[in-house]
C-alpha cells in the first residue's frame, strides 16, 4: 500500500471554474477531496501515483483555471522513494523507463534502477 499524501488547496472553489467537473475527475482516480471544516480551503488525500495521474489529467484539459491545481500538486507532491517506485513498476507489468518517468516524475536513472531490479526479481 502506498503512503497517502495530504495536500491543502486554498480557496479551491473560488479559483476553479467548473469545480464540479474537476472534483468528479479527481474522485474518479480514487482520490479523496474534502473541505476543511467551514473554511474555503480543501484538502486532497491521495497516493503520489494518484496525484501524478490527476496532474496529467489536468494538463491535458483546456481549462486554464485548473492549471493552478496542477502546479500546486506538483509543488507539494514529494518525490517517490525507491520502494514506492518499485511498487508502481511491479503493479504495472511491462512498464518502460519512459512510462515510469512520465507517470512518477522520477529521474531516468531512478527509473532504470527500478526496472532493472524488477527484471532481476522476475528471473
Q: Where does 5-76 sit in CATH, by number?
A: 3.30.1370
- Specify the 3-state DSSP secondary structure of 5: strand
Q: Give the number of C-alpha atoms closer than 13 A to the C-alpha of residue 18, restricted to the C-beta side.
A: 13
Q: How far apart are the first and last CA of the chain?
A: 24
pLDDT tens track for 15-59: 888 888 888 989 998 899 888 888 888 998 988 778 888 888 888
pLDDT for 3 equals 74
Residue spans per domain, the chain: 5-76, 82-122
Q: What is residue 79's predicted lDDT score, i.e. its pLDDT?
A: 64
- DSSP-derived secondary structure for 10-56: TTHHHH-TTHHHHHHHHHHTT-EEEE-TTSS-EEEEE-HHHHHHHHH
Query: Is the pLDDT at 112 greater than 80, yes or no?
Result: yes
Highest mean pLDDT among 68-72, 86-90, 103-107: 68-72
**16, 21, 64 from 110: Cα distances, Å:** 35, 35, 32
> Is the pLDDT confidence value at 10 over 80?
yes
80 pLDDT band (50/70/90 cuts)? low
pLDDT reported for residue 78: 61
Amino acid at each position: 500500500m502506498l503512503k497517502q499524501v495530504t495536500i491543502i488547496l486554498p480557496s479551491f472553489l473560488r479559483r476553479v471554474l467548473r469545480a464540479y467537473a474537476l472534483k468528479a475527475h479527481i474522485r474518479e482516480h480514487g482520490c479523496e477531496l474534502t473541505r476543511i471544516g467551514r473554511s474555503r480551503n480543501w484538502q486532497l488525500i491521495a497516493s503520489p501515483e494518484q496525484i501524478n495521474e490527476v496532474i496529467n489529467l489536468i494538463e491535458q484539459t483546456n481549462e486554464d483555471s485548473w492549471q493552478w491545481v496542477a502546479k500546486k500538486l506538483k509543488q507539494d507532491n514529494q518525490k517517490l522513494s525507491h520502494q514506492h517506485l518499485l511498487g508502481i513498476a511491479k503493479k504495472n507489468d511491462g512498464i518502460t523507463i519512459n512510462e515510469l518517468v512520465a507517470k512518477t516524475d522520477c529521474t531516468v536513472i531512478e527509473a532504470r534502477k527500478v526496472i532493472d531490479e524488477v527484471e532481476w526479481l522476475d528471473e
